[in-house]
Amino acid sequence: MRTWIRTLLAACLVLPLSATANDDLSLTAIVHKHGLSWEEALGAVLLADALGLDATLIVGTRKSLGATVFELAPAFAMHKHSGRGIRGIWNQHRRGHGWGVIAQEMGMHPGAFNKSRVRQRKANDAEFEAVIWIGLLSRRYGLTPERISGLRGKGLQWGDIAASLHIAAAAKKEPEAVLARWRKHRNWDRARSDFGVPEEWASQKSRRGGRKKGKGHKGDGGKVPDALSAGLL
């Protein structure tokens, strides 16, 4: 892993895992209501949990901007860092500005990284997205960044990696065992069911290190808050 990526990854790992309104969400309710795959619904909740946002708000923003949760992760992280609206950040990216360039313009780099600004500006988007998701998944599930990077190196999408880690943690299995089962039918909701993992986010308390339970919106998997009024767009 490049030195600059290690440095930026360390900065991302400083972000606290938040007790949010996502504890009582049903991932399957989000899937059915908003037409997402189970793994993207999971990605929305994971990203919301890490940044202290509402998962259904992320789902609504995703729909409004016509991008996946995994593609939008850097924009949400930059929004959290700078307070800028998601739409403005995303539009700047779509106009051809790389994530590394946008991040540097916002001052989104640790002090030790200032000497390597040129390298950050040249970072490709895939590398920057990897920094966000490796950091998030490493903290959430207690695996080393190297191990998660290894899964990515096998050609897995971020949604597949997140789903395998989530099910493995809940079922107390190794991610490789979960992936082997998933490869038989390529359906994560079915894989979740195969391992006896409940669909409700509230049931997933097996993450290493634990976390405090925040006040939840029980059963609010269907309603999407207005992203504009929340200041995201």
What domain count does the chain have?
1
Q: How far apart are CA 103 and CA 207, in angstroms?
A: 30
The answer to whether position 92 is within a domain reads yes
Q: What is the pLDDT of residues 158-180, one digit of tens each?
A: 999 999 999 999 999 999 999 99
The answer to whether position 209 is within a domain reads no
What pLDDT score does 217 carry? 29
The answer to whether position 171 is within a domain reads no
The answer to whether position 7 is within a domain reads yes
The answer to whether position 64 is within a domain reads yes
Which residues does 118 contact at the CB level (< 8 Å), separation at least 6? none
DSSP states of 191-210:
HHHHTT--SBGGG---STT-
Q: What is the pLDDT of residues 125-154, one digit of tens each?
A: 888 888 889 989 998 999 998 999 999 999
The answer to whether position 39 is within a domain reads yes
Q: How far apart are CA 195 and CA 173, in angstroms?
A: 9
The answer to whether position 115 is within a domain reads yes
Q: What is the pLDDT of residues 197-223, one digit of tens each?
A: 887 654 344 343 333 333 332 333 333
Average pLDDT value over all residues in the chain? 74
Is the pLDDT score of 108 beyond 60? yes
Residue 14 is part of which domain span?
Answer: 3-146
pLDDT band at 103; cut points 50, 70, 90: confident
Q: How far apart are CA 30 and CA 49, in angstroms?
A: 15
The answer to whether position 97 is within a domain reads yes
